């Protein structure tokens, strides 16, 4: 009997130990499963889906947040897997100034789409292409290769049509070089050719519907006196009317690689008020890309079409192709360009392309 009691006590201890170990592993596995479930649900909610829509969300639950690391590592394979009928693509460019030698070259060749001939094929690949047009398009624009009073021949609109440009920002420091009459001629030309514009009249929202999404566009020239309160209030009200809000800004100092502290501060305020994307220009030099609260800020693209042949920096720029999915920016492609013949950009390849991307990466990560 004593031996039997001893055996039972030993087996009881083993049984208790077994139950304890089993319970530990069961609870651990349950907690891990619950954590994964919560994480997956959080990922799905990030893209505006609910967990009972697994047939649609299984594809997007692994999409990472946009980051500088993902942009410059070219780790955008997941974007290609998104359903194209649900994505929206937007191309943005640097400064376009069809004046001075650019205008002279087009007239000389009698070829007004000439500046776009090496890039138009790519510009046509997006749902929308947004440019900064930094000169009025007028009749009888004088031919000159000097001066700071800019205009472009009205026939430059042939180039805009050829490149399938969809929307033009008119808010910049050369828009009024030929007075309000020059602006009106430009607007009439754009309207006639069904090209949208923003930035004039000031604070006016332009809306374009793409795939059941309302995209709103606002533009400001911040080189002159402006009301920050008015800008921020306009953005807040505009966001209530659209799904995505893109703000074009002409700002900052020329020929600098870095924007000023006030630009960064204002950019963050603009994002806080509801902007999804800030498209900056004016520096005539590439400037950083910043991700702030999962929104995108491009401080300056450099030049795209301009006659500043006097330095490598002013002949170099980049364009971007931005991918939106469910009202979020999920992808960004950077394509460096280089201007030749005072007027015509072309895409860089190989080592020269990598040099520009590495410079952009350097200034973006150090900003």
Instruction: Clarify whether residues 53 and 8 are in a common domain.
Output: yes
CA dist., res. 272 & res. 48, Å (int): 19
Q: Is 357 helix (H, G, I), strand (E, B) or coil?
A: helix
Is 62 a domain residue?
A: no
CA dist., res. 49 & res. 217, Å (int): 26
In 47-142, which residue ranges form alpha helices assigned H by DSSP? 54-57, 68-72, 77-81, 100-109, 120-123
Peptide bond into 180 cis (omega under 30): no
Instruction: Clarify whether residues 19 and 149 are in a common domain.
Output: no
Total number of domains constituting the chain: 2
Give which of 269, 251, 247 is closest to 259, Cα–Cα.
Answer: 251
pLDDT at 56: 47
In 82-119, which residue ranges form alpha helices assigned H by DSSP? 100-109
Look up the CATH number of the domain holding residue 136: 3.60.21.10
Specify the pTM: 0.84
Q: Which residues pair with 219 in a beta bridge?
A: 248
Instruction: Clarify whether residues 52 and 195 are in a common domain.
Output: no
Is 37 a domain residue?
A: yes
Q: How far is CA 156 from CA 81, 124, 161, 189, 357, in A?
A: 38, 17, 9, 10, 30
User: What's the rounded mean pLDDT across residues 158-163?
Assistant: 99
Q: Is a pLDDT exceeding 60 seen at residue 365?
A: yes
pLDDT bin (cut points 50, 70, 90) of residue 11 is: low
User: What's the rounded mean pLDDT across residues 95-123?
Assistant: 98
Domain span including residue 50: 2-57
User: What's the rounded mean pLDDT across residues 260-274?
Assistant: 98
Instruction: Clarify whether residues 26 and 78 are in a common domain.
Output: no
43-47, 114-118, 233-237, 347-351 — which is least confidently predicted? 43-47
Last residue of a domain, one of 28, 57, 86: 57
Last residue of a domain, one of 57, 84, 103: 57
Instruction: Clarify whether residues 76 and 29 are in a common domain.
Output: no
The per-residue pLDDT for range 53-72, each reduced to its tens digit, is 444 444 555 677 888 988 88
Q: How many percent of the chain have pLDDT more than 70?
A: 82
Question: Please, are residues 277 and 244 in contact by the beta-carbon 8 Å criterion?
Answer: yes
Instruction: Clarify whether residues 23 and 52 are in a common domain.
Output: yes
Give which of 141, 106, 52 is closest to 341, Cα–Cα.
Answer: 106
């Amino acid at each position: 009997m004593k031996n039997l009691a001893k055996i039972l006590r030993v087996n009881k201890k083993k049984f208790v130990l077994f139950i304890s170990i089993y319970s530990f592993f069961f609870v651990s596995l349950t907690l891990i499963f619950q954590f994964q479930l919560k994480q997956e649900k959080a990922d799905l909610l990030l893209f505006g889906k609910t967990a009972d829509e697994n047939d649609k969300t299984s594809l997007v639950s692994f999409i990472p947040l946009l980051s500088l690391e993902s942009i410059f590592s070219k780790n955008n394979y997941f974007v290609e897997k998104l359903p194209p009928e649900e994505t929206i693509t937007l191309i943005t460019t640097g400064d376009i100034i069809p004046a001075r030698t650019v205008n002279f070259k087009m007239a000389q060749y009698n070829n007004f789409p000439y500046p776009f001939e090496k890039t138009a094929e790519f510009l046509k690949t997006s749902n929308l292409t947004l440019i900064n047009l930094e000169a009025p398009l007028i009749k009888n624009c004088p031919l000159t290769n000097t001066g700071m009073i800019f205009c472009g021949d009205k026939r430059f609109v042939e180039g805009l049509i050829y490149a399938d440009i969809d929307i033009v920002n008119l808010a910049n420091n050369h828009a009024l070089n030929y007075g309000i009459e020059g602006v009106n001629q430009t607007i009439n030309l754009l309207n006639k050719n069904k090209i949208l514009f923003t930035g004039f009249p000031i604070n006016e929202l332009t809306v374009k519907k793409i795939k059941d999404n309302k995209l709103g566009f606002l533009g400001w020239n911040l080189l002159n006196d402006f009301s920050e309160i008015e800008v921020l209030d306009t953005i807040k009200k505009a966001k209530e009317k659209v799904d995505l809000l893109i703000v074009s800004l002409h700002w900052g100092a020329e020929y600098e690689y870095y924007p000023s502290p006030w630009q960064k501060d204002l950019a963050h305020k603009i994002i806080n008020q509801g902007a999804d994307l800030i498209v900056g220009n004016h520096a005539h030099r590439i400037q950083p890309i910043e991700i702030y609260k999962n929104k995108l800020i491009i401080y300056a693209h450099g030049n795209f079409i301009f006659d500043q042949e006097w330095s490598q920096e002013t002949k170099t720029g980049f364009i971007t192709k931005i991918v939106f999915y469910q009202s979020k920016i999920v992808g960004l492609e950077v394509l460096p360009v280089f201007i030749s013949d005072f007027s015509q950009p072309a895409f860089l390849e190989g080592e020269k392309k990598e040099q520009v991307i590495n410079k952009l990466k350097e200034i973006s990560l150090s900003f």
